[in-house]
Structure 1
Amino acid sequence: MTLRLRLERYRVPLAGAFHTARFAFAERRGALLTLEDDDGRRGRGEAAPLPDYSDDDLAQAEAALTELELSRVPPASDRDALGRFLDAHPVSRVPSARSALESALLELEALQRGLPVHRLLAEPEGSAPSTRPLSALVASTSREAIEASVARALAAGFTTVKLKVGKPGAFDEELALLRALRRAHGAALRLRLDVNGCFAPNEAAAKLRALAELQPELVEDPLPRGAPLLEAPPVPIALDEALRDPLPPFTALRERHGVVAILLKPTVLGGPLTCRSRARSARAAGIAAIVSHTFEGPVGYAAACELSLALPETRFAEGLAPHSGLSAWGTQPAALSGARLVAHEAPGLGLPSLRIPAS
């Protein structure tokens, strides 16, 4: 089978700048990858590294993909051969490029078999996916806007809300806001707090003790990458950015460091197959895998949704609520239904043909 490759750049604004404690961005740039086979079927992937967050950049991703010798790439149906090829190929050093390639190959196989991608990836094999709740991500910066956004999310059917915390010098204000949210919404609100590694190691334990009174379901990445993990933290911990660095075995993460979940972002970790392997290892140690996005366009977002539906259900909502940058594309994946993901039978990624929005 002969494959033909096409890359198309895009640049899409968000409805407003998105702020974390460490960086902010107001647009997303990336490249859509299309692999077309002899019968005209087209598998799609997306390389969209996030500046100041990803370990690679768009130029590296485009170079890695254009340098591929497609005749040597095994089909996605031969998972072991494809994994060995990618592990040995320079594309493995560019996670967003590998993610795009995995996604495109998986969609091609799914189209050839007339199946949605989540059915190809299902664990256990052949299992039927269940509906998955989503967590809302609140991106507002003022207290009033955050309180209003949380109320709207709950009214829209979300029960888990993720907030960014850890802004330097603002912890007392953040704590006061979180207390107000807990008073206003009680147990109906499941709080997920993302620090983005912004707690200083000598202050992290005390800040986590203060957050414990709010009963967060998770606190993500409280410490900077490379800092020693806390022993027996007072809150449940989720790891995201730390997954890119050497870590203790998953069993030690759970038993010694309070890790109960990991965040899987295909663009950052190297694709759906790579993330599925991480999820399998974590699950064996009793750690949940939550799938999330990095504000990609609809192709990368749909690939993350398909991965989520393929994995065993956990007690946590998935980090896949749609973001404002998707509206410019005028479409959404078949898996998305309001505040949840649902199983579907649309072949491939469950996306119609796309037209890149004018930038």
Structure 2
Amino acid sequence: MHATYHKYNLKFKRPSGTSRGVLTEKETWLLQIFDKNRKGIGECGILRGLSYDDRTDYEEKLKWVCDHISLGEKELWENLKEFPSIQFGVEMAFKSLESENPFLLFPSEFTKGKSGMEINGLVWMGEPDFMKKQISEKIKAGFSCIKLKIGAIDFTAELELLKQIRTKFSEEEIEIRVDANGAFKPTEALQKLEKLSKYKLHSIEQPIKQGQVEAMRKLCLQTPLPIALDEELIGITSVTEKEELILIIQPQYAIFKPSLIGGFRGTREWLEICENNKVDWWITSALESNVGLNAISQWTYTLNPKLPQGLGTGGLYTNNFESPLEVERGKFKYDPSKEWNFNL
């Protein structure tokens, strides 16, 4: 058995804005395991400036994984606690190696093309006219749940956008989620949430920056709008610390990005803690290529999710790998008649 890794830069079709800046490229790393005539493929999807494992020795650790691939998935995962995206890539690659089809990791009604998952339509930050255009496109495309990135343009302009949506569509017709990516200051957050709540939103993701546990606890206690933890979960690797965080903050929702929190196993730990504490959840991709998105979506389906998931970002890139994944009328689907085109 041996393994290799390759860096792959995904190129955005158009610059995509978040409160942390505008993205034009997304760096990712593809891990391949070879054993006799079989091959396994995994993706280590890192987000610079956000991932816990955004560090100078990242490639060095990938090389270490390849040099020690014979340790097996479980032992490697345990030795990669500080590298959650590599944990996920390792899990994915070994699962792929075990499968007859390296891209068919979790066979189900989803991978047979008989069932899909409802997802939210993502609206990126930008000038108000650009955001209006995106919103219109998502609604026309059949999404019943849209997610708006907020916190980068004028807050009054963002409120006006929400007002315009609600003038045309009730909360029963269109569910709206917003994601502040930690853009609000703790001193202003509650006031802003009160203004946002007038537009009957489903939830807001990470209103203040992660790491302000006491401020987030108070905000979740007082909020007129359900709060979903997102970045708050990054970098917490022990089960005890995970339990403590959820018990202290007591959020309304939690959002799991496997590439940022230790893959399937790390996500499962969070999921069980949240369910034990009556905190609902959904799973979101983290701008992976279709390789990572494929693994996340197939696994997510096996969890029988109740809420719209945050999948379907594979169409953002000009150089993504062709795959059976597709979005149709607000649902994420898998067309088994379509072939993969995976060439590095």
TM-score of the two chains, using structure 1 as the length reference:
0.82
Contact 2:291 2:321 in 1 (8 A): no
CA distance in 2, matches of 1:157, 1:88: 42
| Aligned match of 1:24 | 22
Q: Following TM superposition, by how much is the alpha carbon of 1:119 offset from its aligned partner in structure 2, in angstroms?
A: 4.3
Q: 1:53 to 1:24 in 2, by over 3 A?
A: farther
1:289 to 249, 269, 281: 281
Give percent identity, aligned residues only. 24
> 30, 33, 36: which is aligned to 1:35?
33
Equivalents in 2 of 1:47, 1:351: separation in Å?
22
Shift of 1:325: 3.7
Greater shift, 281-290 or 193-202, is seen at 281-290
- The 1:344–1:14 alpha-carbon spacing in structure 2 relative to 1, beyond 3 Å, is closer
Residue 311 of structure 2: which of 303, 320, 323 is its match?
320
CA distance in 2, matches of 1:351, 1:50: 28
1:31 touches 1:62 (CA, 8 Å); kept in 2? no
Contact 1:329 1:354 in 2 (8 A): no
Whether 2:195 is the aligned partner of 1:222: answer no
1:203 and 1:150 map into 2 onto residues whose CA distance is: 27
In the alignment, the residues of structure 1 paired with residue 118 and residue 179 of structure 2 have an alpha-carbon distance, to the nearest angstrom, of 19
Per the alignment, in what secondary structure is the counterpart of residue 186 of structure 2? coil
Instruction: Tell me which amino acid in the other structure corresponds to 2:270.
Output: R
1:106 aligns with 2:101: no
Task: Judge conservation of contact 1:47–1:61 (CA < 8 Å) in 2.
Answer: no
The 1:64–1:338 alpha-carbon spacing in structure 2 relative to 1, beyond 3 Å, is farther
Q: CA deviation at 1:238?
A: 0.7
Q: Does the residue aligned with 1:27 lie in a helix, a strand or coil?
A: strand
Match of 2:60 among 49, 63, 66: 63
1:175 to 159, 175, 178: 159
SS at match of 1:35: strand
Cα displacement (A) at 1:344: 7.3
Deviation of residue 130 (structure 1)? 5.5
2:292 to 292, 296, 300: 300
The residue number in structure 2 matching 1:95 is 84
Residue 164 of structure 2 aligns to a residue whose secondary structure is: helix
Cα contact 1:110–1:116 (8 A) shared by 2? yes
1:118 aligns with 2:106: yes
> For the residues of structure 1 that align with 2:243 and 2:292, how far apart are their CA atoms?
29
1:306 and 1:335 in contact (8 A); partners too: no
Q: Are residues 52 and 203 of structure 1, via their aligned partners in 2, closer, same or farther at CA, if it must alter by over 3 Å?
A: same
Distance in 2 of aligned mates of 1:149 and 1:181: 12
> Distance in 2 between the 1:12 and 1:339 partners?
24
Task: Give matches, 1:190-201, under 5 Å.
Answer: 190-201=175-186
Give the number of equivalent residue pairs: 328
Q: 1:87 deviation in Å? A: 5.5
Displacement after TM superposition at 1:205 (Å): 0.8
Structure 1 residue 248: deviation in Å? 5.8
1:97, CA displacement in angstroms? Answer: 1.1
> 1 CA distance for matches of 2:320 and 2:271?
30
Q: Give the aligned partner of residue 133 of structure 2.
A: 148
Distance 1:325 1:6, change over 3 A: farther
* Residues 248-301 of structure 1, C-alpha deviations (whole Å, 9 max, x = no match): 647636xx64x2321111111121222123222212222222111121111111
1:355 match: 343
Task: Find the aligned partners of 1:345 and 1:11 in 2 and give their Cα distance.
Answer: 27
Q: Show the counterpart of 2:72.
A: 73
Partner of 2:303: 311
Relative to structure 1, is the Cα distance of residues 330 and 93 closer, same or farther in structure 2, using a 3 angstrom cutoff? closer
Q: Distance in 1 between matches of 2:24 and 2:175?
A: 27
In structure 2, what is the equivalent of residue 232 of structure 1? Answer: 222
Question: Compared with structure 1, are the counterparts of its residues 275 and 351 closer, same or farther at alpha carbon in structure 2 (3 Å cutoff)?
Answer: farther
Deviation at 1:160, TM superposition (A): 0.9
RMSD between superposed Cα atoms in Å: 2.8
Deviation at 1:220, TM superposition (A): 0.3
User: Which residue does the alignment assign to 1:212?
Assistant: 197
Alignment of 1:329-344 (within 5 A): 329-334=320-325, 337=328, 339-342=330-333
Q: Partner of 1:185 in structure 2?
A: 169
> Is residue 123–residue 146 contact of structure 2 (8 Å, CA) maintained in 1?
yes
Answer whether contact 2:128 2:161 (CA < 8 A) is retained: yes
- Counterpart residue identity of residue 29, structure 1: E
> Residues 326 and 195 of structure 1: is their aligned pair in 2 closer, same or farther, counting only changes over 3 Å?
same
CA distance in 1, matches of 2:103, 2:323: 18
Distance 1:342 1:50, change over 3 A: same
Counterpart residue type for residue 62 of structure 1: E
Change (3 A) 1:93 1:41: same
Q: What is the letter of the counterpart of residue 297 of structure 1?
A: S
What is the distance in 2 between the residues matched to 1:351 and 1:280? 35
Q: Determine the C-alpha separation between the residues in 2 that align with 1:25 and 1:282.
A: 31
Unaligned ranges ≥5, structure 2: none
Corresponding letter in the other structure for 2:252: V
The answer to whether the Cα contact below 8 Å between 1:250 and 1:282 also exists between their aligned partners in 2 is: no
Runs of 5+ consecutive residues of structure 1 not aligned to the other structure: 75-81, 123-128
